[in-house]
Chain A
């Protein structure tokens, strides 16, 4: 195969810059597009005509107020392509559909099928189909799918490993099976990494590049984002802070599978410690936190200890990687009462404290992060230029119907 002629690279660069301008400045006229992109009016007309034929843009009205002729305003069309974000959690399954401009069109969630494995995959396909159908979106228009999962994806087998809270995913080729069911390739990514990307795109870490996201819920984990990239580690196991030697003796046999820290502050650890301290009739860590707030002294001391160990983990993160911002997330970590305790303890523990914020996307962080990665992949598929390593910057998030 001969290399593509130089003109096709030039044309792709023009298309890319027009698309970027539409992404960030819609609705916009051809004249303004030409100004912003420094392309000639002739080139602009060619690109816009091509985009219209592809269904990428649509006219949305005309400029007003000026004397003389008015101009047609364009915006990215929702028909240009769709992306799907999925967050498969141990408790909840969330699916969201967005258009090429990043507008979230629909979102749905339900309790995760407790039987796990193939049942969970069927459930994902069912919920995704329903979401697309309700929005009159043909499945073939969904061009990019990203799913958040706990644990680590094995790149060879496509299975999800180290995710003890959802059964039966470590023996299945999740990547392959889900791709078949949804009719389009699926990219899997660790849920905490995606929650972090969600907060950066749409949440409390906007415009911050150097962020650590400490998630505490069923388990505990850390996402790190530096210089525009996730830190994944040599084997994709960076951020597995459940194994930090905090809160006990790492030689202890019973804490080894989960890790020393998670054994104490993961959901089962919180419940176990509450029971050991005399707490009764308890099933979930949420009950322990609620009772602490309602004045149960035993629960309060368990929560206090959980906050202390979380603060020690946060101090460890700060000493080692020096983030600009530390985000506390997860079902426990994002609780305001809990985050306050951690922040207060951290002041005593860390000689050089950093800014702390709590996740504002909460349970949606993972699915929003999945959408952001799916969007970047779609934009790259349409407008990637081999010579340009950087992906297009994402537009500020917008809900359906919102227009500037």
Chain B
């Protein structure tokens, strides 16, 4: 009897939705699904992830134990030494829940967890717009902000897995103020909440979501245009920061706000005046699937390094 073929299970956990896929050992996705994230909390979410694997395995007609490699993207920081997660405000209780331990208990497989934006970076590197890059970043803009870094051809996680936690980048409003605490942070300027607040502050009344603001922009709303100009300038300043520090080849803009061409164009136009060398940017080619595709790719890479598992 020949051993059953090896598969990978990959998932991308977000605050609102959970995407999951099963791929064969060569990385071709054979089944994929998306569900709304269980709002009850970490334990239920962890169970939901395992449930997705069961459902997908049934669809494909394999045993779930044939998934020899599991990779799950987490919307927060993952300590590369301990596997503990932090900075996960969108999943209640996740910081105090040993999700890696739970998943290792549920799967007869090698299980790895990784920051979701790091996986999006890998997705763009493997199959998207950053192929061939050795020094690149994936800047995710949406409800929150995140950054995945590729340095010298490898993911760059930092000493505690906190590299790229640029929500705290101290480049916000009033950087010349005399009080350190008056310095805003990047996320306070560009998160979806910040964009909606800015729209209201500038006298706009009609919008309660960023999506609405983009719709109003299409209809010629001046306040919406001005709000996006301001947002784009903050994004451009973050790009100047990254380029000064790391001298990158390419920065991919992603996330629900980052992929919008209206924002991307404004950022592109703002950059030359702010930095003397060119900064290459590109919109995410994989869109909201970047994280899942990166997870599949990373899982197959890991599987191929373990010939005994295949």
A241 (CB) vs chain B CBs: closest residue: B244
B247 touches A349 (CB 8 A): no
A251 located at the interface, meaning its Cβ lies under 8 Å from any Cβ of chain B in the complex: yes
B side interface size, CB within 8 A:
45
B244 (CB) vs chain A CBs: closest residue: A243
Interface residues of A in 343-385 (CB under 8 A from B): 345, 348-352, 354
A322 (CB) vs chain B CBs: closest residue: B158
Give the residues in chain A near B157, CB-CB below 8 Å.
322
A11 located at the interface, meaning its Cβ lies under 8 Å from any Cβ of chain B in the complex: no
B277 (CB) vs chain A CBs: closest residue: A237
A256 located at the interface, meaning its Cβ lies under 8 Å from any Cβ of chain B in the complex: yes
Segment at the A interface, from B58-66, B168-176, B202-210, B295-303 = B168-176
A210 with B159, Cβ < 8 A, contacts A222-B245, A238-B246 known: yes
Give the residues in chain A near B160, CB-CB below 8 Å.
322, 324, 352
Contacts across chains A and B counted by CB atoms under 8 Å:
130
A240 (CB) vs chain B CBs: closest residue: B244
A36 located at the interface, meaning its Cβ lies under 8 Å from any Cβ of chain B in the complex: no
Output the least CB separation between A95 and chain B (Å).
30
0 or 1 for each of B17-30: is its CB under 8 Å from A? (1 = yes): 00000000000000
B214 located at the interface, meaning its Cβ lies under 8 Å from any Cβ of chain A in the complex: no
Given the complex of chains A and B, what is the CA–CA distance between A317 and B183 in angstroms? 16
A236 located at the interface, meaning its Cβ lies under 8 Å from any Cβ of chain B in the complex: yes
Give the residues in chain A near B149, CB-CB below 8 Å.
320-321
0 or 1 for each of A91-125: is its CB under 8 Å from B? (1 = yes): 00000000000000000000000000000000000
A250 touches B237 (CB 8 A): yes
Output the least CB separation between A49 and chain B (Å).
42
A345 (CB) vs chain B CBs: closest residue: B180
Given the complex of chains A and B, what is the CA–CA distance between A316 and B275 in angstroms? 17
Given the complex of chains A and B, what is the CA–CA distance between A354 and B163 in angstroms? 12
A316 with B180, Cβ < 8 A, contacts A237-B247, A251-B273, A323-B158 known: no
Out of B241, B248, B249, B277, name the residue touching A244 (CB < 8 Å): B241
A240 touches B171 (CB 8 A): no
A side interface size, CB within 8 A:
47
Out of A241, A245, A311, A320, name the residue touching B180 (CB < 8 Å): A311
Given the complex of chains A and B, what is the CA–CA distance between A159 and B134 in angstroms? 25
Give A residues with C-beta under 8 Å from B: 210, 222, 226-227, 229, 231-248, 250-251, 256, 259, 305, 308, 311-312, 315-317, 319-324, 345, 348-352, 354
What are 22 A-B pairs at a CB distance below 8 A? A210-B158, A231-B246, A233-B248, A234-B135, A234-B248, A238-B246, A243-B275, A244-B241, A244-B245, A247-B176, A250-B237, A250-B274, A305-B178, A311-B180, A312-B180, A316-B170, A317-B245, A320-B164, A321-B149, A322-B158, A322-B163, A324-B160
